Structure 1
């Protein structure tokens, strides 16, 4: 009986973004969203006081550790006056979407944030994607937004839930997001 071959999942390598990655990350972000809006936001975030170099993470194929195929960034934000992080944009080149590249980048960024002693992360994102990383509805914890957004897309996560449950309050993003 002939054996059937099942394509294996690519192996991913994650690392902190390098200055030389910026043009490739810009291009993959445009490709991922099919428009320049999120890449332009990323450009504004890079010059914002909320930018944290160590929390801009790229993902590459393990066999080609130089060319980013995915990217995620966490920037300084607040829940009222409590330090938090905002995730996004999260970008994966269309050729690598649904392959685990995005999950690898998100997990690496959350691990890096946890290692830095960060406690909270919030985002506006797809309600069926982010819960796999522990995100839940922010409104269930009393975390509110200053803009209209679907409740199911407004999510938050405590990186150390046993020690630091999510505080309630109003989310404040980096100024580059242009959210009041």
Structure 2
């Protein structure tokens, strides 16, 4: 089992993994693979934070962290968005998603990024340290329940004094 940086020749397979991972899920628009494709061609893309989980030469999972901004009237602050994390159905419930999350957060911290924002399951992401983003006065640019919109400081107090609205890359809206 290996977690490694996604390579260009992985793109097609990775997109298939993403499609299969989200197939039939009620909360999904079934376009997560298209989001990843668009993000790869945007300024928000960080190749070092597009990771795949590989087992016996087969890609079974993927995670992507991309650049976002937290903006208010006085400042803008760069952070990351975690979206999406995908694991093939036959590999789910084995801890692969958690391994991908932990590895991506560590790599993001090593690259000097201060914080990560995620919109996701309120019982899953807190085990990695995510808390409601409202704790810091950080809000989504759209309506979302408070418990689903979370933030994580990659360094102690890296969000201290930071507040505003998250500005996602345009790929999220296309």
TM-score > 0.5 by shorter chain = yes
Give the deviation of 1:83 after TM superposition.
0.6
Q: Does 1:159 find its partner at 2:150?
A: no
The residue that corresponds to 2:10 in the other structure is: 21
Larger radius of gyration: 1
How many residues in Structure 1 have an aligned counterpart in Structure 2?
A: 164
Equivalence for 1:168: 163
Q: Which residue of 2 aligns with 1:138?
A: 133
What SS does the corresponding residue of 1:99 show, helix, strand or coil?
coil
* Partner Cα separation in structure 1 for residue 159 and residue 166 of structure 2: 15
* Whole-Å separation in 1 of the counterparts to 2:87 and 2:51: 12
2:83 is paired with a residue whose SS is strand
Deviation, structure 1 residue 146: 1.4
Which of 48, 53, 61 does residue 47 from structure 2 map onto? 53
Structure 1 segment 55-94 matched on structure 2, within 5 A: 55-61=49-55, 64=56, 66-80=57-71, 81-94=76-89
What is the distance in 2 between the residues matched to 1:68 and 1:105? 12
Alignment partners' CA distance in 1, 2:18 and 2:159: 32
- 1:86, CA displacement in angstroms? 0.6
**How far does residue 174 in structure 1 lie from its aligned partner after superposition?**
1.1
**Residues 25-36 of structure 1 mapped to structure 2, 5 A cutoff:** 25-34=14-23, 36=30
Counterparts of 1:145 and 1:32 in 2: how far apart (Å)?
A: 25
Structure 1: give runs of 5+ residues left out of the alignment: 1-11
- Structure 2 counterpart SS, 1:24: helix
- The reply to whether residue 42 of structure 1 matches residue 36 of structure 2 is yes
For 1:57 and 1:108, the matched residues in 2 are separated by 9
- Deviation readout 1:33-69 (Å, 9 max, x if unpaired): 00631111111111111001101011122xx1x3211
User: What does residue 9 of structure 1 align with?
Assistant: none
Q: TM-score, normalised by structure 1?
A: 0.87
* Contact residue 24 and residue 67 of structure 1 kept, 8 A: no
Structure 2 residue aligned with 1:118: 113
d(CA) in 2 for partners of 1:175, 1:144: 17
> Any gaps of 5 or more consecutive residues in structure 2?
25-29
Alpha-carbon offset, residue 165 of structure 1: 3.2
Q: Using structure 2 for the length normalisation, give the TM-score.
A: 0.90
